[in-house]
């Protein structure tokens, strides 16, 4: 369930973690070169538990890592100059090229309504209907290209008051989200994942980030909105989390809240987080059934059949 954040040069350093079954995959950052496909192949071959998640934030605009190999992709806001059907084609072509390199998951589209701190042109705009239309087109293109799209940042970062990389943002009160921020999260395309943001939602999370809140994940996302896919946390090494918990304790809180795949910052955080999860099972903070549910969803995303792991 643990996804360390690594650059291409660091992929060799996570081989030992993959060999021991301690990671579910990686999130690639930086600017990879032509050797990235071979590096991903080597990591996949080292995995104790079959195919790993190889994820990247390839939104376009200011958040893209593969432009040196695949050319520039416009920002979400820039893509609104096209028709949604054209966006679907553009994105599908890029995702197919990414699949050829070995990527399996794209941490996009951004379904935030608005361009608040940390978002800007990453959003498709200020109108929920525009975000819905273009977000669905982007996600459909990701699926057609052979990758899994992960929509972010639930329940909506676009009108929050800070950048979660630095501080814990506060959104408008929960009762104000329904007609604006939450609209893109209804009726998500089958096959998508959801990334939950580090967002304090007054009236819902009560000072905790949504990524660590059972009310936000198990309550709002799963029960109220009916989402049964894979839930990712945003990076647990971000400033917003540092305000409320250590990364290892945040990993346990996220699992208890209903998250399935946890982005852990650097690979040095994997073993401490794993030990904290084991300790939480022993002392009762984490229920084994909840852990099994998360592992099951993670395996399904990876295409792993648990029955083949039993000798």
Beta bridge partners of 54: 26
**Tally of residues, the chain:** 311
Determine the Cα angle at 146 with ends 187 and 307, to 5°. 85
**Helical H segments across 111-269, by residue range:** 128-144, 174-177, 239-242, 247-257
Whether the CB-CB separation of 273 and 2 falls below 8 Å is answered with: yes
Residue 21 CB partners (closer than 8 Å, separation 6+): 47, 48, 49
Catalytic residue among 181, 234, 235, 260: 234
Tell me the C-alpha distance between 197 and 259, whole Å.
11
Is 165 one of the annotated active-site residues of the chain? yes
Is 181 one of the annotated active-site residues of the chain? no
Tell me the C-alpha distance between 98 and 191, whole Å.
18
Tell me the C-alpha distance between 116 and 201, whole Å.
15
Site of tokens 């229920």: 287
Catalytic residue numbers, as ranges: 165, 234
């Amino acid at each position: 369930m643990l996804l360390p954040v690594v650059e291409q040069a660091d992929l060799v350093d996570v081989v030992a973690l993959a060999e021991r079954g301690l990671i579910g995959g990686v999130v690639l950052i930086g600017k990879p070169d032509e050797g990235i496909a071979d590096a991903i192949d080597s990591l996949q071959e080292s995995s104790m538990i079959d195919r790993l998640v190889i994820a990247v934030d390839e939104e376009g605009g200011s958040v893209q890592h593969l432009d040196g190999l695949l050319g520039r992709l416009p920002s979400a806001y820039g893509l609104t100059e096209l028709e949604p059907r054209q966006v679907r084609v553009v994105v599908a072509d890029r995702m197919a090229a990414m699949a050829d390199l070995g990527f399996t998951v794209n941490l996009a589209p951004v379904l935030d309504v608005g361009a608040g701190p940390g978002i800007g042109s990453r959003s498709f705009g200020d109108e929920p209907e525009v975000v819905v239309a273009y977000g669905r087109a982007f996600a459909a293109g990701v699926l057609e290209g052979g990758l899994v799209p992960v929509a972010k940042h639930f329940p909506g970062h676009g009108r929050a008051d800070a950048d979660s990389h630095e501080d814990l943002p506060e959104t408008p009160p929960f009762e104000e989200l329904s007609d604006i921020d939450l609209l893109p999260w209804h009726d998500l395309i089958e096959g998508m994942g959801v990334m939950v943001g580090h967002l304090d939602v007054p009236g819902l999370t009560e000072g905790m980030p949504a990524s660590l809140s059972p009310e936000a994940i198990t309550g709002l996302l799963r029960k109220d909105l009916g989402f049964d896919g894979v839930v990712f946390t945003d990076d647990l090494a971000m400033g917003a989390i540092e305000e409320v918990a250590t990364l290892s304790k945040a990993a346990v809180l996220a699992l208890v809240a209903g998250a399935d795949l946890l982005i852990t910052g650097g690979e040095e955080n994997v073993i401490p987080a794993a030990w904290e999860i084991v300790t939480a099972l022993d002392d009762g903070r984490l229920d084994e059934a909840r852990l099994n549910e998360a592992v099951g969803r993670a395996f399904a995303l990876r295409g792993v059949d648990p029955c083949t792991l039993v000798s």
